[in-house]
Amino acid sequence: MLAGRDDERVVVRGLLDHARHSRGSALVLHGLPGVGKSTLLAAAADDADGFAVLRTSGIESESPLAFAALQRLLRPVLGLAHRLPAPQARSLRRAFGEEDGEADRFLVFLATLSLLAEAAEEAPVLALVDDAHWLDDASAAALLFVARRLQAERIALLFAVRDGDVRRFDAGELPVLALGELDPSDAGVLLTALAGVPVPGDVLDRLVTSTGGNPLALVELADALPTGQLSGHEPLPLHLPLTEGVERAFLDRFRRLPSGAQAFLLVAAADDSGRAAIVRQAALTLDTSPEEVDAAEDSGLVSVIDGVVTLHHPLVRSAVYGAATSSQRRAAHRALADALVEGGDLDRRAWHRAAAAEDPELAVAGRGLQLHPFQGLNQGLGLLGPGFFHGRGFLTAAPQIFRILKFRARGRCCRQTRRYRRTGRRPSGMASAP
């Protein structure tokens, strides 16, 4: 289902309509992983009535192989190569390994355009190029050459490119269409259609906030969560499941980074303060070098601006934290707790100490406490079995639990006192003076 993409489909249908009338053009779709680029390409194919649809995609393992992606695109129409000028046909055969000799790249580019134009004499052509950021350089150059020369052809060329990938696809002056995340309204339509039941507002808000409105994450959550939780009849889990598809989409860049840069991102994912000084100090204790911190920032997964660390998408935090081993997560929390010694943030330090504990029940409590000092207290303790309150876990956690309760009571008392002085009305529960 393609929810929230009506405007984008109008643009793509316009591209197809122009191609039908010999006014060919190209368009580059770009966006984060999971926003629906491939789905929009599939929708374009569905809308291309009467078109010959050709497909290819960039494949990371084939990116060193010259013309690999181009050969996949042109394979269905190679039977028309006999119509090409002999030098072009010969260079194309050499590029695809069908004939010995060195291929002239310019003639290969011309042959690609000529072959697509020959195919378009029989029916308009829609060429779809997915994951263009992984195209081999030769194929990318050939397709961009073609994309700039379609004005009089019955050819539409659509590229899909992932934002911020290490390999850059330089679309140059080609028109670009950005695909963003879904807003709550469109996300609700998508979830309701997938779940088969209405999704109440509080559930929708939680899912949209946790996923950033990412369509892939919403689709996979709708499949992973039971209907009772989606309908609001059962509570959502404290930690929403991160499915393999979402994790894979958001961890591609992360796994290519050096180990120290990965450690910096894990610390940033475990941190809830956003303070760059704390995150950097914690990461440095995990043997992260300053150069690796720079590599993490250059990856596009995180930014540090005005002393604030920001992960670029909620799913980056979930994916990085979820992919770490339990020992790696404990080490990150321990490093954050140590970095907070000089900051005077006793409560936050206590949360990280709890999350760094090897006692699994105490670690669960610590992660719950991280959500919010008071909400987290309720949720974190609610996850524990009754045996927790009779063991060493409770004795270890008790000081931070009572500290939070003390600050909560003090804050409530101060608010009520200020309200009484301002209005003269005694809040309910405040005793009268004797």
Q: Please state, in angstroms and rounded to a whole number, the distance separating the CA atoms of residues 268 and 257.
A: 15
- Over residues 44-56, the mean pLDDT reads 97
User: Which one, of 10, 3, 137, lies nearest residue 66 by Cα?
Assistant: 137
406 pLDDT above the threshold of 80: no
Higher pLDDT, 33 or 166: 33
Q: Where are the domains of the chain?
A: 6-178, 193-237, 242-344, 359-423
Q: What is the pLDDT of residue 348?
A: 79
311-340 per-position pLDDT tens digit? 888 788 888 888 889 899 999 999 998 888
Higher pLDDT, 422 or 410: 422
24-36 per-position pLDDT tens digit? 999 999 998 889 9
254-289 per-position pLDDT tens digit? 888 999 999 999 999 988 888 889 999 999 999 899
Q: Please state, in angstroms and rounded to a whole number, the distance separating the CA atoms of residues 120 and 383.
A: 63
107 pLDDT above the threshold of 70: yes
Residue listed under structure tokens 């369509």: 215
What CA–CA distances, in Å, run from 360 to 242, 371, 389, 398? 20, 17, 14, 16
DSSP code per residue over 83-108: GS-HHHHHHHHHHTTSSSS---HHHH
**N-term to C-term CA, the chain:** 68
Q: Is the four-CA dihedral 102, 105, 106, 108 of positive or negative sign?
A: positive
Burial (Cβ within 10 Å: 0-12, 13-18, ≥19) of residue 317: buried
Half-sphere exposure of 39 (CA within 13 A, CB side): 16
User: Which one, of 174, 107, 106, 108, lies nearest residue 144 by Cα?
Assistant: 174
The pLDDT confidence band at residue 245, using thresholds 50, 70 and 90, is confident
CATH architecture of 6-178: 3-Layer(aba) Sandwich (3.40)
Q: What is the pLDDT of residue 428?
A: 52
- Over residues 75-85, the mean pLDDT reads 96
Could you give the angle at which helices 137-147 and 105-122 cross, rounded to 10 degrees?
50
Q: What is the pLDDT of residue 412?
A: 53
Could you give the angle at which helices 360-371 and 392-423 cross, rounded to 10 degrees?
20
| Number of other CB atoms surrounding residue 213 within 10 Å | 22
110-161 per-position pLDDT tens digit? 999 999 999 999 999 999 999 999 999 999 999 999 999 999 999 999 999 9
